[in-house]
Amino acid sequence: MSATMSASVNSSKRKFPLEHTRNIGIAAHIDAGKTTTTERILFYAGVVHKMGEVHEGSAVTDWMEQERERGITITSAAISCNWTNQHGPYAGIQNQINIIDTPGHVDFTAEVERSLRVLDGAVGVFCAVAGVQPQSETVWRQMTKYNVPRIAFVNKMDRTGADFYAAVESMRERLGANAHPICIPIGAEEDFTGLIDLASMQATIYDPADESGMTVEVTDIPAEYVDQASEHREKLIEALADFDEGLADKYLEGQDLTADDIRAAIRKATISLEFCGVMPGSAFKNKGVQTVLESVVNYLPSPLDLPPMIGEDKKGRPVEVKPDDNAKLAGLAFKLMNDGYVGKLVFFRVYSGSISKGSVLHNPRTGKTERISRLLVMKADAREDIDTAYSGDICALVGARDVVTGDTLCTKGYDVRLEPPTFPEPVISMSIEPKTTADQEKMALGLQRLSEEDPTFVVSTDEETGQTLIAGMGELHLEIIKDRLFREFKVGAEAGRPQIAYRETVLSAADGEGKFVRQSGGKGQYGHVRIKIEPLERGAGVEVVDKIVGGVIPKEFIKPAMDGIKEAACNGTVAGYPVVDFKVTLFDGSFHDVDSSEMAFKMAGIFAFRDAMQKAGPILLEPLMNVEVETPEDYQGDIMGDLNRRRGQIQHINAKPSFISISALVPLVEMFGYSTIMRSLSKGRASFSMEPECFEEVPSNVVNTILETSTRGRY
């Protein structure tokens, strides 16, 4: 982008111009080293003066008590830092990097989802021993979904069994990534001493006497690595030639390619979303993190490098929202957090325009205005007041009241709606009751605030029992919710046994008819519809189609009939669970000139759906989890035997240098308490992860057990 053009979109008052701003996320499988990598970035960028450690509970970005106790990331932490590159086209220029450290545990995938929605680039962290792991795949799919350019950091090169090239190959095989090393390691395991930059063909050697990693020597490539580096550089250039014609021409003509030629091509290829540069390192041993920072600036996009955000006006017409400080304001509220000192914090990405404290903003969803009393830049659990946030910035708003995750806030009169992040539905629920009457009100307030923060946490009431039900993404998710109720809201509560979020569907097509007729003197009620229900493939959702012709049902009664169908689908005929993956066609019916009403047609829709579903071979579906167990070979047989007893389907077994990786599909209902059993079988040496995979039919011998224990109403 030309200097003139960039100057025209930058306010004269902003500290860092758009072209020198990076909004990035750090994302990976649990325990791959995301938080440790982020902590090292903050240290080298001068934000902190002591490296925080996850295992010590001192990580800056793991600021919640629950995070420090468990050594895991639960909530996305936003933090800003500045970095000046030493080499390349951005050398000597200070850049602002806004970083979000995301959770790795599948129960908190919503945090990853909403973070990636507002980021411009990401660093995927992979373990040099394990390579691509289940949650790595999930995160990669989320990055692809939101078109996020990415680079990869293969961490833990100091660990026994570390293999950089195997990790790159697993990215290609399991992720389908066009992954290529842009740096290669010097040594591995305890002999990992540095890395080679394939663009400059220079080696960075870390001084073993300086454990901070601050003392490095940039020198010629060691003789024994020259051939290996040349080979990988050739492969890199060949891969980049597909994205840069100028580089391809130079290469084919036999011209020398400069380091900046290659860096420019890597940047272009990365932003195209068709290429991922990979570098090695060990965050814990303080090696390679500076290279990650340099690569973030060199290869990941600024807001100006990406296509404009496409929103919609109130009539559904597309609207381009471009990064420009001088344009009208439009931004996305991507996260809510309740703060004990300032109340509700709204995390906000500014896409165009600027926002100042005291601004009055319009919310197109509610049609109301919101006055912003304060603007904050978050530094994990610390915060800094600012007067103005500009396009491309991520900040927190204080004062917004009626705002939910996914809301657009914009200049009054500029009615635009940006695409919100999407979230998976909960897979597990349990009842929760206050211990005392005094806890009742506090629990209701606490659950309301927690559900506002977390779109995957749902609170409801069982109509039959009157119990309060909480639903989430897994046992750990609900455990954290209960813990936060106790600690933050001082609520004493008892929780019931977790319940599975089953679903229902149909196996065949069938017609159904519903009539609602009431005559009790005076004006009666009459509604009559005929429908056809058909199964759709798994995950297709629900489709309701209007095929009424000739006015057999007046237009004003079609919507109520469809509403009735959708309402009936919330309670299936097998066990009262929501019905999914079906298509309903409304094709016939009749009405009465005097007695027909919206209520009558809604009831007719309900009756027709129940009638059709009972004829269409209704079945019960259960959530299957993709379970991956890593165990020493000695315990492989016991682990596999236990998975089989849990109705698990073994998908594949991979032998790694120091352990066996077993992947299986297992019904969620069979996984309660698994961690305790697994530790017992392996003498505490095995670990596992799991994530939702799909819904499949419940075996007939299990259905009766579910029906006996289900408290849901059914027809």
pLDDT at site 667: 93
Q: Over range 106-121, report the average pLDDT.
A: 73
pLDDT given at position 101:
64
Tell me the pLDDT band of 489, cut-offs 50, 70 and 90.
confident
Q: Residue written as tokens 């698990």?
A: 648
Q: Helix (H) and strand (E) counts for the chain?
A: 17, 38
CA angle 127, 132, 135 (to 5 degrees): 100
Which residue would you say has higher pLDDT here, 683 or 638?
Answer: 638
% residues pLDDT > 90 (the chain): 44
Alpha carbon distance 708, 699 (integer Å) = 15
- How far is Cα 334 from Cα 116, in angstroms, rounded to an integer? 10
Q: Which residues pair with 153 in a beta bridge?
A: 125, 279
Residue 47: what are its φ and ψ, rounded to 5°? Answer: -75, -40
The reported pLDDT for the residue numbered 64 is 42
Q: Which amino acid is at 279?
A: M
Q: What's residue 457's pLDDT?
A: 85
Please give the pLDDT value at position 2.
Answer: 43
Q: What is the spatial distance between Cα 79 and Cα 102, in angstroms, rounded to a whole number? A: 12
Tens of pLDDT, residue by residue over 360-370, are 999 998 889 99
Paired sense of beta strands 582-590 and 542-546, if any: parallel
**Percent of the chain scoring above 70 in pLDDT:** 90
- Please tell me the distance from the alpha carbon of residue 601 to that of residue 527, in angstroms, as a whole number: 4
- 372 pLDDT band, cuts 50/70/90, is very high
141/159: higher pLDDT: 159
What is the C-alpha to C-alpha distance for residues 188 and 390, in angstroms, rounded to an integer? Answer: 44
How far out from the chain centre does Cα 611 lie? 39
pLDDT of residue 154: 96
Per-residue pLDDT band at 3 (split at 50, 70, 90): very low
Tell me whether residue 641 is exposed, middle or buried, using C-beta atoms within 10 angstroms of its C-beta: 0 to 12, 13 to 18, 19 or more. Answer: exposed
Q: Which residues contact 663 (CB under 8 A, 6 or more apart)?
A: 134, 626, 627, 628, 650, 651, 652, 653, 654
Q: Could you tell me the pLDDT band of residue 53, with boundaries at 50, 70 and 90?
A: very low
Q: Would you state the pLDDT for residue 539? A: 83
Beta-carbon contacts of residue 90 (< 8 Å; ≥ 6 apart): 20, 297, 298
Q: What's the start-to-end Cα distance of the chain, in Å? A: 63
pLDDT digits (tens, 9 = 90+) for 5-18: 455 888 888 888 99
DSSP 8-state secondary structure symbol assigned to residue 290: H
pLDDT at residue 565 is higher than 50 = yes
- Indicate the DSSP class of residue 579: B
Q: What is the pLDDT of residues 436-484, one digit of tens each?
A: 888 888 898 889 888 887 888 888 887 656 778 888 877 777 888 888 8
For the chain, how many residues are written? 715
d(CA 266, CA 199): 9
Per-residue confidence (pLDDT) for residue 479, from 0 to 100:
83
pLDDT of residue 275: 95
d(CA 427, CA 623): 7
Per-residue confidence (pLDDT) for residue 458, from 0 to 100: 87
Paired with 493 in beta bridges are 434
The winner for highest mean pLDDT among 113-122, 212-221, 227-236, 400-409 is: 227-236
pLDDT of residue 314: 84
Tell me phi and psi for residue 375, to 5 degrees: -120, 135
Residue 463 pLDDT: 66
Residue with tokens 């901070």: 212
Mean pLDDT of the 381-407 span? 86
pLDDT at 8: 85
- Decide: 105 and 120 in contact? Cβ < 8 Å: no
Cα 193 versus chain centre, distance:
34
Q: Which residues are bridge partners to 689 per DSSP?
A: 628
pLDDT bucket at 51, cuts 50 / 70 / 90 = low
Structure tokens at 184: 């290669």
Distances from the Cα of 597 to the Cα of 434, 517, 521, 591, angstroms: 43, 11, 16, 9
Neighbours of 376 (CB within 10 A): 21
User: For residue 168, is pLDDT > 70?
Assistant: yes
**Computed from CA positions of residues 606, 607, 609, 613, in that sequence, does the dihedral angle turn out positive or negative?**
positive
pLDDT score, position 73: 39
Amino acid occupying residue 137? E
Is the pLDDT confidence value at 4 over 50?
A: no
What is the layout of strands, in order, in the sheet containing 150-155? 77-84, 94-101, 21-28, 121-127, 150-155, 276-280, 179-181
Report the chain's mean pLDDT, rounded to a whole number.
Answer: 85
Residue pair 304/18 in contact (Cβ under 8 Å)? The answer is: yes
For the four alpha carbons of 225, 230, 235 and 241, in that order, the dihedral sign comes to: positive
Q: Over 70: is that where the pLDDT of 164 sits? A: yes
Of the two residues 239 and 344, the one the predictor is more confident about is 239
What is the C-alpha to C-alpha distance for residues 567 and 549, in angstroms, rounded to an integer? Answer: 24
Residues 6+ apart with CB under 8 A from 651: 626, 663, 664, 665
**Residue 531 has which token pair?**
């429908």
Q: What is the mean pLDDT of residues 593-606?
A: 93
Q: What per-residue confidence (pLDDT) applies to 216?
A: 84
pTM flag (> 0.95): no
Highest mean pLDDT among 43-52, 170-179, 395-404, 463-472: 170-179
Whether 506 and 553 have beta carbons less than 8 Å apart is answered as no
Residue 416 tokens, joined = 């635009």
